[in-house]
Amino acid sequence: QSVLTQPPSASGTPGQRVTISCSGSSSNIGSNTVNWYQQLPGTAPKLLIYSNNQRPSGVPDRFSGSKSGTSASLAISGLQSEDEADYYCAAWDDSLNGRGAYVFGTGTKVTVL
């Protein structure tokens, strides 16, 4: 059972803005940076956002991340058909394992209507 909670699904029409939430606790999001991954059907995950709001080279600027307290959000503006994928938040959790562990969110499936 994941310690990071996301809505199971989100949807929008092309051009719309979609936001995905990620709720955690003081031991993970509250004290560590958040990363977001995009997983297209049948492919390996891809790092989309790191350190809360940084985009790796090649990631379009319509993807943005933010963090406040023990929650984080991923926003997709100008939604495109190729954005239809599963999205996962993730962070290090200091309370697990004795010396910490990496945890993924429950995942959100984004559908482009």
Residue 89: is it exposed, middle or buried by C-beta count within 10 angstroms (0-12/13-18/19+)?
buried
Which residue lies nearer to another protein by CB, 47 or 75? 47
* Distance between CA atoms of residues 23 and 30, nearest Å: 10
Which residue lies nearer to another protein by CB, 42 or 81? 42
Judged by the rule CB under 8 A, the positions of this chain that interact with another protein are: 2, 32-33, 35, 37, 39, 44-47, 49-51, 56, 86, 88, 90, 92, 96-97, 99-107
Which residue lies nearer to another protein by CB, 41 or 81? 41
